[in-house]
């Protein structure tokens, strides 16, 4: 028997990660019912191919890697300058100032969300509920003290700092929110930035779904004055450009984030990444750069519009059935109330058994998600229409 000690904080976690558990249940169902066509609307995984301009850039880069003169070895640890500049320019086009040098390229927002805890000490962490489960799981793994900020129908799933007493927190914000699709307006985000500045807190802002925003809402926390003194932002090419299988994301850690005991967060993140991460491959970074070009943004917006139309189809079906739901407008997710007061996992089982549609139980996003259910709009059109038809017979 080994005598080593393990990180026993893992005992605080649920047995398996939300989307692994869903995958396991669906595989078991499919194995027992091989003739049934299951429609997957669980994990938010894209289905449309990469935009042509992205593929072209990746092909060109692969060819360069096959020629001695243009071959490249390890990428620069924080990303190639061409991509960091392109990200900075992407922000500038939205009227937001982000220096290229504050941008850190990575293989995914999920990795960065999970890894950021490495540079933080023992703080109380404020996590919205419901929200993307990685915030909770990674803080549980680190043994951090967690407080939940529950949101619900009454506040439109947008928690506010109104009832907080000035305590210092690490505050997670996801806008547009995964899973509810709720988006903070400027006043809503300003309240958080003001709270963070006054209390010495840090905001970790997840903007992975910003490309879906419709209307005049902030796409970045740095749209709010003072955020550069209290916020880290994490964004991704996964949903905006269909990179779930290609892997590329970025994190902004402004130079101006300093603690009262003299630590500079950008220096810590740079040190962490240099030690534990070896960068994103050259062809993928060229592909990401192409996604942010004028043509790339246009082509990727067409992908986003396609998913938005799927969301509309689902949303209209729920309207016809009089089922309360949010999201689907500035988000690829539809967040609906389970009928007849069902629990979200019971509803998951019912949908799988009766109509072979897979969604995500709201409880997986935190206790405040119990009684709700998430459907993604990332399927192809045909499957979305078919799923809407099947669901309509059930409600
Ligand atoms: C989701 O379904 O919530 C996301 O696809 C998960 C992720 O981005 O890691």
- Helices in the chain by DSSP H: which ranges? 18-32, 52-65, 81-93, 109-115, 133-141, 186-199, 265-276, 282-291, 294-320, 344-355, 381-394
Q: How far is the CA of 43 from the centre of ligand 1 (A)?
A: 6
Atom of ligand 1 nearest to the CA of 376: 2
**Tens-place pLDDT, residues 354-376:** 999 999 999 999 999 999 999 99
Q: Which of 17, 19, 333 to mutate to test the pocket of ligand 1 (most atoms within 8 A of CB)?
A: 19
Indicate if the pLDDT at residue 194 is higher than 90.
Answer: yes
Q: How is domain 52-292 classified at the CATH fold level?
A: 3.40.640
In contact, 38 and 25? CB cutoff 8 Å: no
Architecture category of domain 16-45+296-394 in CATH:
Alpha-Beta Complex (3.90)
d(CA 79, ligand 1 centre) in Å: 23
Residue whose structure tokens are 């692969």: 62
CA distance linking residue 1 with residue 112, whole number of Å = 35
pTM metric for this prediction:
0.96
pLDDT of residue 374: 97
With left for phi above 0 and alpha for psi between -120 and 50, is residue 144 left, alpha or beta?
A: beta
Query: Mind giving me the DSSP string for 108-139?
Result: -HHHHHHHGGGG--S-EEEEEES--HHHHHHH
Residue 44: CB within 6 Å of ligand 1? yes
Predicted confidence at residue 153, as pLDDT, reads 93
What does the pLDDT read at residue 373?
A: 97
Q: What is the pLDDT of residues 329-346, one digit of tens each?
A: 999 999 999 999 999 999
Residue to mutate (ligand 1; options 21, 43, 174, 206; most atoms within 8 A of CB): 43
Taking the CA of residue 178 as reference, the ligand 1 atom at the shortest distance is: 3
- Centre of ligand 1 to C-alpha 237, Å, is 12
Expressed in angstroms and rounded, the spacing between residue 44 Cα and the centre of ligand 1 is 5
Please name the residues in contact with 228: beta carbons below 8 A apart, sequence gap of 6 or more.
Answer: 222, 254, 256, 257
**CA–centroid distance, residue 238 to ligand 1 (Å):** 9
Q: How far apart are CA 331 and CA 215, in angstroms?
A: 12
Domain limits, the chain: 16-45+296-394, 52-292
What's the gap in Å between 45 CA and the centre of ligand 1?
Answer: 7
Task: Strand 103-106: give its sheet, edge to edge.
Answer: 103-106, 249-252, 231-236, 202-206, 169-174, 124-129, 145-150
Stretch 368-395: mean pLDDT, rounded? 96
Average pLDDT, integer, range 267-294: 98
pLDDT > 90? residue 54:
yes
In angstroms, the CA 136 to CA 149 distance is 12
Mutate to test the pocket of ligand 1, among 18, 23, 42, 44 (most ligand atoms within 8 A of CB): 44
Q: How far is the CA of 177 from the centre of ligand 1 (A)?
A: 11
- Residue 395 has a pLDDT of 86
The model's confidence at residue 15, banded by pLDDT at 50, 70 and 90, is confident
CB 203 within 8 A of CB 222: no
The share of the chain scoring above pLDDT 70, in percent, equals 100
Residue nearest to atom 9 of ligand 1 (CA): 110
**Could you report how far apart the first and last alpha carbons of the chain are, in Å?**
54
Question: pLDDT above 90 covers what percent of the chain?
Answer: 98
Centroid of ligand 1 to alpha carbon of 244 (angstroms):
9
pLDDT recorded at residue 389: 97
The residue whose CB lies within 8 Å of the most ligand 1 atoms, and thus the one to mutate among 114, 178, 212, 364, is: 178
Return the residue matching tokens 């392109």.
Answer: 86
238 closest CA partner among 277, 210, 213: 210
Q: What is the pLDDT of residue 36?
A: 96
Residue 248 corresponds to which tokens in the numbers above? 């590329």
Across the range 15-33, mean pLDDT stands at 93
Q: Mean pLDDT over all residues of the chain?
A: 97
Task: Compute the distance between CA of residue 228 and CA of residue 230 in angstroms, rounded to an integer.
Answer: 6
How many whole angstroms separate alpha carbon 13 and alpha carbon 360? 18
CB of 43 sitting under 6 A from ligand 1: yes
Backbone angles phi, psi at 39, to 5 degrees: -105, 120
* Ligand 1 pocket member 110 (CB < 6 A): yes
pLDDT at 16: 85
Distance 38 CA to ligand 1 centre (A): 19
Confirm or reject: Cβ of 178 under 6 Å from ligand 1: yes
pLDDT at 259: 98
Q: For residue 136, what pLDDT is reported? A: 97
Q: How far is the CA of 116 from the centre of ligand 1 (A)?
A: 18
């Amino acid at each position: 028997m080994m005598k080593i000690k393990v990180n026993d904080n893992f005992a605080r976690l649920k047995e398996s990660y939300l989307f692994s558990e869903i995958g396991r249940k669906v595989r078991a169902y499919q194995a027992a019912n091989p003739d049934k066509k299951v429609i997957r609307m669980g994990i938010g995984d894209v289905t449309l191919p990469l935009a042509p301009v992205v593929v072209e850039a990746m092909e060109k880069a692969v060819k360069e890697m096959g020629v001695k003169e243009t071959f490249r070895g390890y990428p620069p640890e924080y990303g190639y300058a061409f991509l960091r500049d392109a990200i900075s320019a992407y922000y500038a086009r939205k009227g937001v100032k982000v220096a290229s040098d504050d941008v850190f390229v990575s293989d995914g927002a999920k990795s960065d969300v999970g890894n950021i805890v490495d540079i933080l000490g023992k703080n109380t962490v404020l996590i919205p509920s419901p929200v993307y489960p990685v915030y909770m799981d990674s803080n549980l793994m680190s043994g951090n003290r967690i407080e939940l900020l529950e949101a619900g129908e009454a506040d439109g799933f947008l928690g506010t700092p109104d009832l907080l007493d000035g305590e210092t927190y690490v505050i997670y914000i996801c806008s547009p929110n995964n899973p509810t699709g709720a988006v903070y307006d400027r006043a809503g985000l300003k309240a958080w930035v003001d709270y963070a500045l006054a209390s010495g807190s840090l905001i970790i802002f997840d903007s992975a779904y910003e490309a879906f925003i419709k209307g005049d809402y902030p796409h970045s926390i740095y749209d709010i004055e003072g955020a550069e003194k209290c916020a880290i932002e994490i964004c991704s090419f996964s949903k905006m450009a269909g990179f779930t299988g290609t892997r590329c994301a970025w994190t902004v850690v402004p130079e101006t984030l300093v603690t009262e005991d003299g630590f500079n967060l950008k220096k810590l993140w740079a040190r962490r990444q240099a030690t534990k991460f070896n960068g994103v491959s050259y062809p993928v970074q060229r592909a990401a750069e192409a996604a942010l070009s004028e043509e790339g943004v246009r082509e990727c917006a067409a992908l986003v519009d396609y998913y938005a139309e799927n969301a509309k189809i689902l949303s209209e079906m729920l309207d016809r059935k009089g089922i309360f739901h949010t999201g689907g407008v500035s988000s690829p997710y539809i967040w609906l109330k389970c009928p007849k007061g069902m629990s979200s996992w019971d509803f998951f089982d019912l949908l799988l058994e009766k109509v072979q549609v897979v969604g995500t139980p709201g409880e997986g996003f935190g206790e405040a998600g119990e009684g709700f259910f998430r459907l993604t709009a990332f399927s192809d059109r045909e499957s979305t229409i078919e799923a809407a038809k099947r669901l309509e017979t059930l409600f």
